Amino acid sequence: MHFGTGAVSVSGVGLPSVCAAGEDEPMPSVRDTDPQDDLSDGRDESASERADRNWNEVLQELRVMQTGTQILTGFLLALAFQPAFSDLNDGQRAIYLALVVLSALSSIVALAPVALHRMLFQRRAKTQVVAYGHAALVTALVTVSVLLIGVVGFVFDVVVDRPAAIVAVVALALVILTLWVAAPLAIRARLTNGVHR
């Protein structure tokens, strides 16, 4: 199924012919024709446009992460005001306080890119802000994973017992390592090797 043999005009841009998927003739792309585009990645955008898009992606990831962190922080802070809180032993109180500090640290790290963006606003530093945001988000993912594992272990320790807490911590750590580390690394390796499945 052939759609054309000559140049086709789309918004004033002359394009070569286009073939249906599965035919031998390659389907040309309008992308990456802009002289300002410094990457051949299938997107027709300048470095500034790419930085803007990447910043929007960082902000979206921040929103998702911050919501989960806020829920965990609220849960932890509410525990201190429950009548059963006085029944905790010294070890459980120490773990609880460590989790509260870790929760605050997670929020601070996740919000650091926003603070940097405010400080560098309109200084043409979006690329640096995006790189900083990426590093902060990776760090925040680590702190949030430790926080999640810690909260689950804490709850199992208080509600059931220490052996149950250890089992829950190990199981959750394996799930997080699988979904947050192993699977993304496997996908990245496939993409690096040119396999797009």
Contact 50, 43 (CB under 8 A): yes
Contact 129, 113 (CB under 8 A): yes
Percentage of the residues of the chain whose pLDDT score is greater than 70: 77
The SS3 of residue 28 is coil
Read off the pLDDT of residues 91-146 as tens digits, 9 standing for 90 and up.
Answer: 999 999 999 999 999 989 988 888 888 888 888 888 888 888 889 999 999 999 99
Ranges 5-9, 21-25, 105-109: which has the least confidence: 5-9
Residue 99 exposure: Cα atoms within 13 Å on the Cβ side: 27
The token duo for 135 is 């590093």
- The Cβ of residue 22 has, within 10 Å, a number of other Cβ atoms equal to 6
Residue type, 72: L
Residue 10 has pLDDT above 90, yes or no: no
Contact 87, 50 (CB under 8 A): no
